[in-house]
Amino acid sequence: MADPAKDTVCVPAALSGYQILCDPRLNKGTAFSDEERDRFGLHGLLPPNVATMDGQIARRLTALRSFSTDVERYSFLRDLQDTNETLFYGLLSNNVKELLPIVYTPTVGAGCRHFSQLFRRPRGVFLSLPHRAHIRQILANPHFDRTEVIVVTDGERILGLGDQGVGGMGIPIGKLALYTACGGIAPATALPIFLDVGTDNEYILKDPLYVGWRHSRVRGQEYDDFIEDFIAAVHERWPHVMLQWEDFAKSNATRLLERYRDRLCTFNDDIQGTAAVATGTLLSAINVTGVPLTEQRIAVFGAGSAGCGIAALIMAAMIDAGLPAREAARRFYLVDRDGLLLEGMPDIASFQRPFLQPRDAVASWQRSGDRIGLLDVIENAKPTALIGVSAQTNAFNETVVRAMAAHNKHPIIFPLSNPVSCAEADPADVERWSEGRAVIGTGSPFPPLMRGGESFSVDQTNNSYIFPGVGLGAVATQAARITDTMFMAAAKALAELSPAKRNPQANLLPPVTALRDVAISIAVAVGKQAVAEGLTSGVTADTVEAAVHAKMWTARYRPYRRAGAND
């Protein structure tokens, strides 16, 4: 916790009595001092003992641990966030290892599925297509005046769970919780937004408790026009805002990013954040395997926007390392539902085209069927790394893992799909099938492995290592745009923090307890890259670090005074 002695500046508060207790940004609960209770009419509304934040955290932690399921813990934390925001972030920041899996993946997936049943208090903004004409009026609410970071979704591709309708709002709320706890973004400046264009999930539509718009999902020009109205209103309301796209379907994710990436400061975390953490972790894995980046061969299972985003950033890193572009592209083997992506295949998306393998390059391959499946790729191409973003449970089965281990002393195997129920493999199985030789990274948290008789934590190759720092760097420097080279800077900064860089027997990534320090390092790297590209004003390479630290918010109670006094 920060030193309370530094909290000498009083915060003006216009509310009093029950009103201030019901405002999550101002509420301190039992931590209101006697003087503040006098000042704001709180005597009798609170028990007489004045608590400290540390004492409140201990009380909430005891209550949290008494629940029997993670969904109950998730609901408890959401209630705390909506009643006392400062205490919520104090609890989360001080117990990030224990609580990260609750507020984020994997439990946030269950939170999305049960969003309507758990809904109690409003948080963020719900923009539904029937209210399209009122977007500017809704966003004009003075409660949102300080907004600097927006996370937005339309709920169509939530983790590996698919269309969750309005339940997808759980993702922006969860992401922004990490922006604050790990990236130091002040919660009053963070705004989750849900774009409600309906849902094609029949189960949800038939649920009498569903709180979203009961309509089939709108697509085509009407959808595009709604997105355009939203972006125009956002840019008009907050010209310097940073907007993160989250969990949009493959058909929309890449094209929306390309349409708006040069119009405002924006990025897609599923494409670029996933790519950066995978690239950074792969660069870290080289310290263990000893195989240079220019000699890596990468098989990606799941050739959607996330898989292609990963491949594109790793390929850019290979080119940076000296590999000719054409040769670098041939080192990627992307496998989707129709098998290995090949030249001449129908229905190839634009973002998949750079990774099409020439048909003559695979003409002599031995294959098990008409299409070239994942195992065929492993047996013929002998990839050094296998990355999964398919949401296909157990796709990396014993045969696949043993094939990877047969061709590599230390196969790199990253089952990255979230939540745990959608992971391509369980790390314990990968460890056993590879005889303890695999270098493993997962998208969700898993129990530790046993190596050499000692517990070894599984590296969570998750976007939480990337997006808080990228957002912090962009906001601190007021970057006009977020570029792919800024994500490359983030990936390389993450790799520099790898414990394996100093000890090949150590983990690939820092522990999650260090996520705040990781965010600072990445923010500085991203900010300096933005300066180098001329995307900032008023910030130089020498002042980026100071700007980053000046922007960081810490969860602590500030003293209050009545608004109007001494103003």
Summarised one tens digit per residue, pLDDT across range 417-426 is 988 999 999 9
Mean pLDDT of 298-309: 96
28, 175, 250, 528: which is the annotated catalytic residue? 175
* Chain center to CA of 236: 26
**pLDDT score for 370:** 86
Domains delineated in the chain: 52-248 (3.40.50.10380), 272-464 (3.40.50.720)
Cα 332 from Cα 377, distance rounded (Å): 10
The verdict on whether residue 225 carries a ligand-binding annotation is no
**pLDDT score for 4:** 41
Average pLDDT, the chain: 95
The verdict on whether residue 462 carries a ligand-binding annotation is yes
Kindly state the DSSP code that residue 410 receives in the 8-state scheme: S
The verdict on whether residue 258 carries a ligand-binding annotation is no
User: Which among 364, 365, 427, 425 has a CA at the least distance from the CA of 400?
Assistant: 425
Cα 550 from Cα 519, distance rounded (Å): 14
**pLDDT score for 163:** 97
For the question of residue 175 being annotated catalytic, the response is yes
User: What number of residues does the chain have?
Assistant: 567
The SS3 of residue 12 is strand
Which tokens is 106 given? 């994997």
The verdict on whether residue 270 carries a ligand-binding annotation is yes
Summarised one tens digit per residue, pLDDT across range 46-71 is 999 999 999 999 999 999 999 999 99
Cα 553 from Cα 516, distance rounded (Å): 11
Summarised one tens digit per residue, pLDDT across range 483-525 is 999 999 999 999 999 999 999 999 999 999 999 999 999 999 9
Summarised one tens digit per residue, pLDDT across range 99-130 is 999 999 999 999 999 999 999 999 999 999 99
**pLDDT score for 554:** 96
104, 179, 333, 465: which is the annotated catalytic residue? 104
Which amino acid is present at 20?
I
The verdict on whether residue 268 carries a ligand-binding annotation is no
Mean pLDDT of 277-297: 97
What Å distances lie between residue 44 and 40, 84, 109, 166, CA to CA?
12, 19, 40, 40
CB neighbours of 336 closer than 8 A, spacing ≥ 6?
302, 303, 304
Looking at the DSSP bridge assignments, the partners of residue 193 are 125, 152
- CB-based contact 281:413 (threshold 8 Å): no
**β-strand pairing of 11-13 with 149-153:** unpaired
* Banded model confidence at residue 236, pLDDT cuts 50, 70, 90: very high
User: Which among 480, 479, 477, 463 has a CA at the least distance from the CA of 518?
Assistant: 463
CB neighbours of 399 closer than 8 A, spacing ≥ 6?
375
The verdict on whether residue 196 carries a ligand-binding annotation is no
Cα 45 from Cα 16, distance rounded (Å): 11
- CB-based contact 64:77 (threshold 8 Å): yes
Which tokens is 123 given? 């948080």
Cα 413 from Cα 396, distance rounded (Å): 9
**pLDDT score for 8:** 61
What Å distances lie between residue 3 and 26, 554, 555, 556, 558, CA to CA?
19, 11, 11, 9, 11
Q: How is the chain split among helix, strand and coil, in percent rounded to 5?
A: 50, 10, 40
